[in-house]
Every structure is written in C-alpha cells, then in structure tokens.
Amino acid sequence: MDAKLKYKAKKIKIIFFDIDDTLRVKQTGYVPASLSHVFQALKEKGILIGIASGRAIYGVVPELKALKPDYYAMINGSFVEDAKGRVIRQKSIPEELVKRFIEWTKEEGIEYGLMGSDKSTLSHRDERISKTIDIIYENLETDPDFYKNHPIYQMWTFEQEGRQVKLPIDLQENLRSVRWDTMSSDIILKDASKAAGIAAVVEHLGLKPENVMVFGDELNDLEAFDYAGISVAMGVSHPELQEKADYITKTVEEDGILHALEEFGLVEKEKYYPQLDLENVSGARATIKTNHGDLQLQLFPEIAPKTVANFVALAKDGYYDGVIFHRIIKDFMIQGGDPTGTGMGGESIYGAAFEDEFSMEVFNIRGALSMANAGPNTNGSQFFIVQNTKLPYAKKELERGGWPAPIAEIYATQGGTPHLDQRHTVFGQLRDEASYVVLDTIAAVETGAMDKPVEDVIIETIEIED
C-alpha cells in the first residue's frame, strides 16, 4: 500500500460494509470472529460504522446486528435509518411501475419478489427460488399482491436456469436491473444505489465523500466505490469492482476486513494471547475448591475487567460456597455458579445482567473459564470451564476459519470449543496440570436428567489471591 493511500485513510470518519461475501460468507453464513475486534477498535477511534446492502434491515443476521453498527443504508440505498431506527431516507417505487413490472414478468414467464421496509414476499415458491433466496431471507411468504397494501422499495426477478432477461424499454426509463445471482436481479429505481444511501448519511452528518471508506464485492457496490474517498474490494469479488478499487484485500475467511484496516492503520496489528503465556500474566488468581479437588485459575482482568471484578467479588462474599456444578457434559464443559442449582438462577454484583466482554486475545480453548449466558449481554454469576479434549478440525482448517495460528494450534492439539468464541466471555484459564486432572475427573461423573450429576459436585469455596 502506497503512502498516499495511507494518508487518505487519515481523513476517514465513517466506514460502510456490504454484507454478503464482505462481512459474511453468503453460502455458509460464516462471520469471522475478528469482526468484533474490528468494530470495537473503530469505535474506540471515533470512526462510525455503517452497513450498506441490497438486503432490508430484517435481512441483517443477528451476529451482525450484535456488532451495533451506527447506520443502515439498506435496500440498495432506498431505505436508510440509524441504530435507533430513525429514518434518514426512504424512496419507494411508484405503484404503477410495480404493476407494470409484474405484467412484464408474466409476459416473460418468470417469477418475482417484492420488498417492503419490514417484509418481503414472493410471487411463487419452488426449489430453485428457495435455494436462491433462503440464504438471505428464510421462509418468505407467497403473496403476489403484497404491493397493494405496502410501499415497495425493490423487486426481484427469478429467471429460468441459463436465462437472463432484460427490462423492457418503458420500464428502463425509471428502473434498472442489478444482477446479484445467476438467476436473479434486483430491480430498483434508476437513482437508487448504495451510494445514494451512503450519501444521505454523509449529508446527515455534515461529512464529505473523502471521509468515507467502503468495502464490497459485487456489481451493486460500483456506485459506492465511485462515491467514496477510499474503496476496498474483497479478495473474491467481481473483476469490474476490483478495477475500481483503491485496494484489494483478502477474503472473508482470511479476515480480509481486519487485514485491510490493519494495512490502512485504522486497526492495530499487535495481538497478545495471555492463555499461552500464563506465567507472565498479572492479575488475580482463583482456586475453586471442590469435593473432587482444586481447580487453580489465572484470571484476566485486563481482558475482561467487569467480568473478573464480578467473579472476584462474588467469591470473596462467599456467594459460591456450597454451590454445585449443576451441568456437566463430558468432552464439553462443567458449569456452575448458580445458587439455586437449577441453571436458571444467579445474580451479578451489578444487580442485573451485564454486558459481554469479548476479545480477540482469549478463546474457549481447553481449560478456559468463561461466562455462561442466555444470549448476548446476559451475564450473571454462572460460569463454565471448557473440558473438551477432542476437536474434529486441523490447525489449517481453523486458520482458514479465521482463528489466529497460535490459537488454532492449541485447539487442534489440546481441544476446546471454538464455536463458543465471541459468544461467551473468556476471563480465566486453568494454570497447572493437577487442575486439568480434577477437571477431567469432574467431567467423568455420572449424570442424569438435564446433565445434572447424580451425586453433587460441590464448590466448597473459591479463594482469591490478589
């Protein structure tokens, strides 16, 4: 990357990301764990974050919503709102154009879809249509007359295999077609584009195009690339888009977004993995004394300060004394910390559930101490220790999946639960071999209904060494 481009990056105040094959792999649903770190790092620098997509906001998957972007420029810029749901731009397709489009699809013998601001429908559903649309919008209703009672912001064509239809001249006066699949195109107003949606946000904020960076991979990103001060194409993206791009990064699976932002100097490259360097980690240590032996743990207050403070305070208050490990699953984990012993109770020192503290420096490797939860930001008093010793993935597979090489090595050779990363706060790690023996002993006890031990596995007390 040349110095001039890096200098331009200093002017960036907002970054817009496409979704499919940019933030997320369309075919598999894979979202790189590194995105949590990326979004957090950008926010810490005061850089705003937007999503610019052909999708509607109800098509944004929960994993991406959980990252809390500041703006949504959706339906190819036809419907734009902020994180609080305040509409910044909306421009629907006139009903007479929708009717004419539907007439034309019938003349061509093809099916169509209609997209509203809070719902989409199909004219017909069959296997080929389901295969195309369900990876974006699952279980859409069949309602060919949806337009009669709802504003329509975009339409789709669903064509026969090997065929690509072209809008008739009369519709081309007001509408245009943007190909997004081999058998489907977005049909939008001529002036609708991601660029129009992004521009609405930029004007709303009093910024300039030079303050904007965009990431994308397909033809419906072309106008956004023309508009933005800096444009970044993903590693697997349309050749036309790559020609326009200021920079071509790696693929989603290769952490392309993180890589590009590190190169631009907008996200720090340095990483430290305390679980792999326990002897040099500072901070409190804990000893969970059980009726099966002691579990010695190093805590990570610098990684998860609020979580560690909660655990330490509860332990010192005797909150965990006499509490059982109520859920034990061999080759997975042991879970405790609920005074009711049911898995339904427990409370934090904060009086209510508290937020997750995810990090790209700690992971759910074997021996990790993590918070149990009932979804995002629902932490209380319950915790678990990862016990799994078997993992069906090789190091290279994990690296391709987005895990850092040193962590992938530990997962592959020692075990863990990588599917829990960025879903549960990791705040400590077992620190000696004797503790792993106790962990495996507890994991092997006989269990009954709801994975509860037949004979209680009791936390006698938790001692804290500050």
CATH of the domain at 460: 2.40.100.10
- The one catalytic residue in 2, 18, 191, 217 is 18
- What pLDDT does 306 receive? 98
In a domain, 100, yes or no: yes
The answer to whether 430 and 439 have CB atoms below 8 angstroms apart is yes
Find, among 217, 161, 164, the residue nearest to 194 by Cα: 217
Instruction: Tell whether 114 and 139 lie within a shared domain.
Output: yes
The one-letter amino acid code at 58 reads Y
The answer to whether residue 294 is catalytic is no
113 and 62 share one domain: no
Number of domains in the chain: 3
Q: Are 104 and 29 within one domain?
A: no
In this predicted structure, what is the pLDDT of residue 68? Answer: 95
pLDDT at residue 136, rounded to an integer: 85
The two structure tokens encoding residue 235: 């590693």
C-alpha to C-alpha distance for 378 and 385, rounded to whole angstroms: 18
Answer yes or no: is pLDDT of 390 > 70: yes
DSSP codes, 60-79: S-HHHHTT--SEEEETTTTE
Domain assignment of residue 59, given as a range: 3-86+193-263
Residue 256 half-sphere exposure toward CB, CA atoms < 13 A: 24
Give me the CATH number covering residue 46.
3.40.50.1000
Instruction: Give the single-character DSSP code of 276.
Output: G
Quick: pLDDT tens for 98-119: 999 999 999 999 999 999 999 9
Bridge partners of residue 365, in order along the sequence: 416
What tokens were used for 41? 């790092």
Q: 325 and 433: one domain?
A: yes
Q: Tell me: the pLDDT tens digits for 71-89?
A: 999 999 999 999 999 999 9
Residue located via tokens 């579990």: 295
The verdict on 309 and 396 lying in the same domain is yes
Shared domain for 208 and 323, answered yes or no, is no
Structural domain contains residue 140: yes
Tell me, what amino acid is at 238? Answer: H
pLDDT > 80? residue 138: yes
Sheet-wide strand order for 111-115: 141-142, 120-122, 111-115, 154-158, 184-189, 175-181
User: Is 268 among the domain residues?
Assistant: no
Tell me the sheet residues that pair with 384.
Answer: 335, 370
Domain contains 133: yes
CA 61 to chain centre: 8
C-alpha span between 81 and 344 (Å, rounded) = 37
Q: Is 321 within the bounds of a domain?
A: yes
pLDDT value for 272: 86
| Domain final residue pick, 167, 189, 211 | 189
pLDDT of 41: 94
Q: Is 90 helix (H, G, I), strand (E, B) or coil?
A: strand
Residues 40 and 178 in one domain: no
The mean per-residue pLDDT over the stretch 353-358 comes to 97
Which residue among 157, 189, 221 closes a domain?
189
**pLDDT tier at 460, thresholds 50, 70, 90:** very high
pLDDT tens digits, one per residue of 198-242: 999 999 999 999 999 999 999 889 999 999 999 999 998 999 999
Q: Is residue 269 part of a domain?
A: no
pLDDT at 132 over 70: yes
pLDDT bracket for residue 160 (50, 70, 90): confident
* pLDDT recorded at residue 27: 86
Q: Percent of the chain at pLDDT above 90?
A: 88
Which of these three, 214, 244, 263, is where a domain ends? 263
394 and 319 assigned to the same domain: yes
Task: Supply the pLDDT for residue 249.
Answer: 97
Residue 161 pLDDT > 90: no
Residue 111 lies in a domain: yes
Q: How far is it, in rounded angstroms, from Cα 367 to Cα 404? A: 18
| pLDDT of res. 270 | 62
pLDDT of 269 over the 80 cut: no
User: Do 167 and 236 sit in the same domain of this protein?
Assistant: no
pLDDT above 70: percentage of residues in the chain: 100
Looking at the structure, do residues 183 and 320 belong to the same domain, yes or no?
no
Spell out a b/e string for 356-394, using b for 16 or more CB atoms within 10 Å of the CB, else e: bbbbbbbbbbbbbbbbbbeeeeebbbbbbbbbbeebeee
Whether residues 21 and 169 share a domain: the answer is no
DSSP 194-246: HHHHHHHHHHHHT--GGGEEEEE-SGGGHHHHHHSSEEEE-SS--HHHHHH-S
Same domain, 370 and 299: yes
